[in-house]
């Protein structure tokens, strides 16, 4: 059988402290209408990526409102996950030569995983391309199946999309983060637009005193009294970590005492990440003020929280981005963000923050320097960002949207 993650429950009532009671009431009513339903999320890794980050908070909150919710993780060897990472990149427009052998390996692994899947559920939610063919091979034809795409799939690689499309169109519904991410030729009876969200009470997002966070960073060789900029993300080419380093070097010419922290995670479904992590470390060794940390070196959610809170400016210089949870995380902590004008990032960078959406390294450096030199402006932008995240991108809203979709499918 596939691995099921052991998770607890979270009490929805706690979120009344940060959200309107009407939203919490709506969630409780939806959950009451769906009492007894069994829901299962499926993805390719229990740690290291945005989907895992979401599910660690999402599943316990679903359970907390009385929904039977589980999370199963597919298996595969390095060859399979090398292929699926390439498919992931290709759905975001990357080049990939899709040979017949690759198709066979992908489908064989999905078939094996489908046979090992605990199929005793009413609704399956399958995340991203890695397990996308599970529904095709599953024996459970009575359940409702939802495919959830977390990627910027607005302009996917043609050959890869045509290969995956027939398996994806077998689902009862598909969910995308933005309308523009929906491929134009997809045929579905039901398409939903649901943005991701963060959990304000998770270890990663709970409130921490900034002075304590600077002390924690100081323990990791970050000078507490010097400016700190950071990028927190997976080690992925789409996040442009080498562009961040180039940006830092431009900033350092104007702000000589600035420090850069690159904090990333490596997932077991991402062989490419290991190679990139090595290359980033090699480049960082050239400058004692560039610091690289990862889950491999013991950096967990609490330390990530500390770095985001301690940073004077948070950067997310993505070239492609489905959403970018780290932006919502930083804004929730009232940190100003300078981010790539890509994918789902503009959903989070609204109002005055739109001036800090950048398209190249020079723009990125210019905006960061401006914020480092004007702490009052940085504070104002952080406060504006927190309000926007509170109103739109906290976890109960995601639970509400998903329950509404499930209810509509079950009733139909």
- Does 286 have pLDDT greater than 90? yes
Task: Give the residue-averaged pLDDT of 208-227.
Answer: 95
Interaxial angle between packed helices 78-91 and 271-284, expressed in degrees from 0 to 180 and rounded to the nearest 10: 80
Has residue 308 got a pLDDT over 80? yes
Q: How far apart are CA 180 and CA 347, in angstroms?
A: 12
Asked if the model's pLDDT at residue 274 lies above 90, the reply is no
- Residue 58 confidence (pLDDT) above 80: yes
Taking 80 as the threshold, does the pLDDT of residue 186 lie above it? yes
**Mean of the pLDDT values across residues 32-61?**
94
Could you tell me if residue 134 is left (phi over 0), alpha (psi between -120 and 50 degrees) or otherwise beta? alpha
Distances (CA, A) of 160 to 35, 95, 363: 39, 9, 33
> Which of 183-192, 253-262, 387-396 has the least mean pLDDT?
183-192
Asked if the model's pLDDT at residue 408 lies above 90, the reply is yes
Check whether 19 has a pLDDT greater than 90: yes
What average pLDDT does the segment 250-258 reach? Answer: 98
**Starting at the edge strand that comes first in sequence, how are the strands of the sheet with 38-43 ordered?**
3-4, 68-73, 38-43, 123-127, 144-148, 173-176, 191-193
Instruction: Give the rounded percent of residues in the chain with a pLDDT score beyond 90.
Output: 92
| pLDDT at residue 168, as a whole number | 96
275-279, 311-315, 332-336, 386-390 — which is least confidently predicted?
A: 275-279
- The pLDDT value recorded for residue 270 is 80
Of 172-181, 185-194, 248-257, 326-335, minimum mean pLDDT range: 185-194
Tell me the pLDDT tens digit for each residue of 229-248: 999 998 999 999 999 999 99
Which pLDDT tens digit goes with each residue over 65-92? Answer: 999 999 999 999 999 999 999 999 999 9
Give the C-alpha separation, 277 to 289, whole Å: 17
CATH architecture group of domain 210-392: 3-Layer(aba) Sandwich (3.40)
Tens digits of per-residue pLDDT, 96-131? 999 999 999 999 999 999 999 999 999 999 999 999
Q: State the average pLDDT over residues 35-54.
A: 93
Which residue intervals of 3-99 are DSSP H helices? 21-33, 50-64, 78-91
Q: 3-197+394-411, what's its fold?
A: Rossmann fold (3.40.50)
> Where residue 322 falls among pLDDT bands split at 50, 70, 90?
very high
Is 340 strand, coil or helix?
strand
Q: What is the mean pLDDT of residues 170-177?
A: 97
Same-fold call for 3-197+394-411 versus 210-392: yes
pLDDT of residue 48: 78
Residue 266 has pLDDT above 90, yes or no: no
Flag whether pLDDT at 269 surpasses 90: no
Q: Pick the more confident residue, 399 or 189.
A: 399
From residue 27, alpha-carbon distances to 1, 13, 23, 398 in Å are: 32, 11, 6, 10
Q: Where are the domains of the chain?
A: 3-197+394-411, 210-392
Cα 231 to chain centroid distance, Å, stands at: 14
Mean pLDDT of all residues belonging to the chain = 95
């Amino acid at each position: 059988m596939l691995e099921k993650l052991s998770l607890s429950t979270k009490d929805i009532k706690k979120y009344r402290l940060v959200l309107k009671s009407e939203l919490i009431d709506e969630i409780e009513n939806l959950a009451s209408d769906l009492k007894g339903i069994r829901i299962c999320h499926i993805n390719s890794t229990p740690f290291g990526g945005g989907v895992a980050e979401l599910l660690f908070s999402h599943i316990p909150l679903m359970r907390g409102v009385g929904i039977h919710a589980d999370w199963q993780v597919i298996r595969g060897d390095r060859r399979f996950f090398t292929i699926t990472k390439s498919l992931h990149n290709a759905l975001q427009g990357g080049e990939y030569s899709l040979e017949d052998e690759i198709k066979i390996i992908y489908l064989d692994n999905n078939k094996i995983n489908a046979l090992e899947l605990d199929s005793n559920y009413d609704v399956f939610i399958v995340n991203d391309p890695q397990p996308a063919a599970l529904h095709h091979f599953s024996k459970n034809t009575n359940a409702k199946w939802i495919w959830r795409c977390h990627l910027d799939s607005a302009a996917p690689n043609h050959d890869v999309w045509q290969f995956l499309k027939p398996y994806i169109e077998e689902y009862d519904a598909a969910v995308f983060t933005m309308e523009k991410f929906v491929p134009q030729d997809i045929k579905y009876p039901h398409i939903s637009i649901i943005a991701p969200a963060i959990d304000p009470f998770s270890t990663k997002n709970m409130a921490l005193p900034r002075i304590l966070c600077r002390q924690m960073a100081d323990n990791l060789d970050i000078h507490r009294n010097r400016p700190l900029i950071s990028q927190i993300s997976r080690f992925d080419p789409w996040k442009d970590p080498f562009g961040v380093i180039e940006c830092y070097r431009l900033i350092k010419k104007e702000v000589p005492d600035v420090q850069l922290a690159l904090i990333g995670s490596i997932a077991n479904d991402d062989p490419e990440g290991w190679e990139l992590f090595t290359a980033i470390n090699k480049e960082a060794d050239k400058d004692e003020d560039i610091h690289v940390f990862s889950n491999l070196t013991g950096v967990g959610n609490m330390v990530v929280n500390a770095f985001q809170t301690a940073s004077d400016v948070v950067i997310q210089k993505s070239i492609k981005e489905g959403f970018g949870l780290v932006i919502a995380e930083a804004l929730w902590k009232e940190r100003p963000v300078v981010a790539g004008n890509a994918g789902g990032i503009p959903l989070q960078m609204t109002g005055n923050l739109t001036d800090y959406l950048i398209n190249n390294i020079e723009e990125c450096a210019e905006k960061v320097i401006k914020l480092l030199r004007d702490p009052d402006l940085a504070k104002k932008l952080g406060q504006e960002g927190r309000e926007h995240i509170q109103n739109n991108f906290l976890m109960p809203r995601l639970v509400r949207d998903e329950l509404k979709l499930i209810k509509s499918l079950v009733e139909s």
